[in-house]
Chains A and B, each alone.
Chain A
């Protein structure tokens, strides 16, 4: 029996309602002072995290223990309430292993970051807005995760999108110190620096491109199935002729899947919609940690994890959905490489981390993609690996961002080259960041090692085209290890930069972060170590069997247990690659026996590659030249030629017509009673005539 009695929908609902209510209450609380407001915001984050954790206890999948008891099935939690009767729409929550894992990860990381904000945002202005948006974000993210239908999910989806936009542009007065990118730097004539408000807008518009596709996909499915509900969609598949067969007969099944994946691409910043995330770093670092590293960007992965199995069930064979999963895997692998390559050459600390996030999410997509490509039918291996990496990335990336927040704050610079030699003055931050960076690099036995290698193993196991993805993944892993070490080396070792020296001469003191800040990231570092240590068992027995049960619900045969230890060869290859990457980074940036500058300058190939990476593969410039500038100039043209010459006359003409007609009608109203009576009589005559003509007796 579950600890909290029978399955109830109260707690799953509270999970997302509490933070939203907390956000609203914190605004009220602000009237009684900042401390009250902060306490409400952080408190609601904690309550949400505790409630999310309790999902494991109220649901029957808590029966499963590490001792190896096999789980036959789990109970789905949650009832539904009528929402819009006319559409037969019911609002509800759904608790399955996927949502429970996501909710727990999201809520705990969110809580730690809220706590970190107490220190990080101290002394900032407009904190009421900040805390409201942060908690509102968390609530929407949890709503997205917990909802049992597409429409509700989409509401949360747009809610987090809005909060992301508003928080990227938090410093909306656009002081130059808040800009992201280096002022004056240009790629093919396109400026590479953005003000916070522009970065917010960019994020909003780019993700919106994906959202439009997503919405179209949802509506196509709704048009054929008449429901938004995930369970209902799955149940309806039992009929011989169902929405999926109907969709397939008109050839819309795979397109709909791709459209929905479009939303995932936008939200998770995958190629070709990845360019918004690096510039989203214009927001406060705590925001970057929460939204642009640990939670919201995972929404796309979650979406694929929600619809992927459904599509497999609907198609009833992997062959039909093969293009979908192949695309997911290909985009994931390519994005992992694309972003990792750019992270190697950047000087801005947060941008390195941003590209790293894009790259790591690419890995997750790769994992989910190869799950569907698996020729051995082992869907759950790649699936589990993808979500394991999601958890692991959330831990170490949030920690990395929080460390970065402190570093940028204390040195007053966002460039790594303006830090240097900080290791001695802040031991906790140094060791924390070293541990999490090694986890990111994939060094044994940290969680990052297990999660990344499990994805790569899954790719190798899947065979076929996945072998190519495996190779791309390995190359990206090499780059990842290199840039992680480069980051550590540039920041903490070597000589102090002129910026730091100047700071110290002015009497500034480079020191350790206050506990409100270092405790959260140190905790996350410990968590990444702990997760790494228990990973072999946890992955195989806990997560693996949970997801196997989840997938069996969709009729996907999956073994209950599989091991990442069995594939010792890919594991050692992966570890070797990581070590090589770390070693190169160590030699170049810690030991400094290789001078990276001379390497880059050594030949046209290396120089060309450096420039190519540095200019973001020219993708951003390309987008601006192809999409933004033509649209802007087209809009200007339209304004001059259409708005001023066509619309304006109509806009002025139509009301004038209304006014003229109105004046005419007003003249009828003379105010003279005799005329009113006459009008009345005339009206009766008119009625008689009308009735006589039309009555058809």
Chain B
């Protein structure tokens, strides 16, 4: 069977849209079986993952399309790895939703699944999009269902407040993004990311302007601000703690990983393709370095004294965004590899942490740190998974987070722009972050709780958490393939050296340590 790489994302979206519509139809016809919805959606995600893997293996013909074509989509390694990561998170969340909402009054889990699949379609299209308009449409397709998901606990004021805050700030991000797109169109008369890069020098002729650079810079600003909101980068992070805390915790898992990962892919395309034209090449190294330092410092320090586990995780999400931006600041193949690698690891670590926390919060009825006391004795899988994911987020070897942080810090040290100071700030931040990551572990295992009754761990949660933990440990012990994928993806933007050469260089650096 041959599928044109230009149309591959449409097939993908089509299949998932079918799943979503079936769930909606079931819901409308009154057959509101949440288990059928869960089965359909998780099967749909699993199928989509397989579909992407098969495409990446060349099963449907050409592996990659020509990114300079006028196609709406870029079917390349970036799309593959981010697509799989996002689908994986959606799968993890999908496995837990039935259990999570089992005792929330006034919710219809079937609808939840429909919305989950819809937002996943948006994220996938966003990842694949190579056209600014397509990107914007996908952006909205991703955002709108996610507002509803955030406010899914209809009777819970916190959930409603979170949804409204998220919606308002998101509206701003859409607005500035659209403004940025319009400025680019003004300059080049084109919307295809891979064509704009060649058109940039001719931008003057389209609008008759002789000095296009201030406008280009403004457009860049708007893109960064717009993406920054979903990436949780300081100073565009303000909505994050409130929204993550108020939203149903499993939705926070989705927002903090799938949405963020899906935003990162087009952000990198815009930055490293669209803005890398020979005449318009702004040096953003220090700007991103500042954003990175602000994000990780604020995220990590603010998390130190939080009393709520979800807020700690929310700030952790901001801090991790800071690490990811190191790679963008450092640039180069190593920097991008580090960013890609870290965001892939981050997706499993952070979603695993949120999901494990979700189970505990649902059972003890509070996300207060003190209510986590002695959980380690009351239930087996969730605290274990939470511990693993927190340690991985903190960068403990040999868990997955260690390796990607290592590559990121290395990229800063190796950067031609002399970013050693950034790496050192990041390392100090890593130390600080361990304090609050381990604090949660301490509360769970070392502190005595009020109650010792055993908690119920449902199978959906168990499956989801064990799967995520296995990935964290597995990719930690054997990070090779992930590094290779990340390198391959980075090569779409910077083919300074081949992936084997890069790995050899990494090996050499490790060796000389």
Contacts and interface: CB of A to CB of B under 8 A. Distances in A.
Contacts of A682: 235
B435 A658 contact: yes
A554 to B, nearest CB: 27
Interface stretch (A286-294, A494-502, A672-680): A672-680
A337 B350 CA distance: 64
A680 B302 contact: no
A670 to B, nearest CB: 9
Interface string A660-697: 01110110010101011101101110111011111111
Contact of B290 (A661, A675, A690, A695): A690
9 contacts: A665-B302, A669-B241, A669-B242, A679-B238, A687-B224, A692-B217, A695-B282, A696-B282, A697-B280
A696 to B, nearest CB: 4
Interface string B229-247: 1000011101101100000
B298 interface: yes
Given A680-B225, A695-B284, 12 more contacts: A85-B503, A658-B435, A676-B169, A680-B235, A683-B225, A683-B234, A684-B221, A687-B224, A691-B287, A694-B286, A697-B280, A697-B282
B235 A88 contact: no
B283 A684 contact: no
A608 interface: no
Contacts of A677: 168-169, 172
B169 A86 contact: no
A691 B298 contact: no
Interface string A76-92: 00000000011110000
Contacts of B302: 662, 665-666, 669
Given A676-B165, A683-B235, A694-B287, A665 B229 contact: no
Interface string B160-202: 0000110011001000100000000000000000000000000
B436 to A, nearest CB: 9
A694 B284 contact: yes
A696 B506 CA distance: 31
A630 interface: no
Contact of B301 (A661, A675, A680, A690): A661
Interface in A337-361: none
B468 to A, nearest CB: 25
Contact of B221 (A88, A663, A676, A687): A687
B435 A683 contact: no
Contact of A688 (B221, B283, B303, B304): B221
A659 interface: yes
B480 interface: yes
A85 B303 CA distance: 37
A684 to B, nearest CB: 5
Which of B220, B298, B302, B435 counts the most A-chain CB atoms under 10 A from its CB?
A: B302
B492 interface: no
Given A88-B507, A661-B301, A676 B239 contact: yes
Contact of A687 (B281, B287, B304, B510): B287
A86 B506 contact: yes
B62 interface: no
B157 to A, nearest CB: 13
A669 B238 CA distance: 7
A655 interface: yes
A432 to B, nearest CB: 49
B414 interface: no
A87 B503 CA distance: 11
B271 interface: no
Interface of A: 85-88, 226, 655, 658-659, 661-663, 665-666, 669, 671, 673, 675-677, 679-680, 682-684, 686-688, 690-697
Contacts of A671: 242
B510 A87 contact: yes
Main secondary structure of the interface of A (DSSP, over half): helix
B235 A679 contact: yes
Contacts of B218: 688
Interface of B: 164-165, 168-169, 172, 176, 213, 217-218, 220-222, 224-225, 228-229, 234-236, 238-239, 241-242, 280-287, 290, 298, 301-306, 432, 435, 480, 503, 506-507, 510-511
Given A88-B507, A684-B222, A694 B304 contact: no
A686 B288 CA distance: 12
Contact of A659 (B176, B234, B287, B304): B304
Nearest to A665: B302
B507 A85 contact: yes
Contacts of A679: 235, 238
Contacts of B285: 694
Contact of B176 (A655, A684, A696): A684
Contacts of B165: 673, 676
**Lowest 3 A-B CB distances belong to which pairs?**
A683-B235, A676-B238, A662-B304
Which of A679, A684, A687, A688 counts the most B-chain CB atoms under 10 A from its CB?
A: A687
Which of A88, A688, A693 counts the most B-chain CB atoms under 10 A from its CB?
A: A688
A85 B483 CA distance: 12
Nearest to B226: A684
B305 A666 contact: yes
A683 B287 CA distance: 12
Contacts of B510: 86-87
A663 B306 CA distance: 9
A673 B239 CA distance: 8
Given A661-B301, A669-B238, A655 B435 contact: yes
A645 B233 CA distance: 40
Contacts of A688: 217-218, 221
Contacts of A226: 511
B283 A86 contact: no
B304 A684 contact: no
A680 B305 contact: no
B304 A691 contact: no
Contacts of A663: 305
B287 A690 contact: yes
Contacts of A676: 165, 168-169, 238-239
Given A687-B224, A695-B217, A658 B169 contact: no
A658 B164 CA distance: 32
A291 B286 CA distance: 61
A697 to B, nearest CB: 5
Nearest to B213: A697
Nearest to A688: B221
A697 B287 CA distance: 14
A87 B221 contact: no
Given A655-B435, A662-B304, A679-B235, A673 B507 contact: no
Contact of A86 (B168, B172, B224, B511): B511
Contacts of A661: 301, 304
Contacts of A696: 282-283
B171 to A, nearest CB: 10
Contacts of B432: 658
A115 to B, nearest CB: 37
Contact of B507 (A86, A666, A684, A690): A86
Given A673-B164, A697-B282, A686 B235 contact: yes
Contacts of B228: 683
A658 B304 CA distance: 7
Contacts of A687: 221, 224-225, 287
Contacts of A680: 169, 172, 225, 229, 235-236, 238
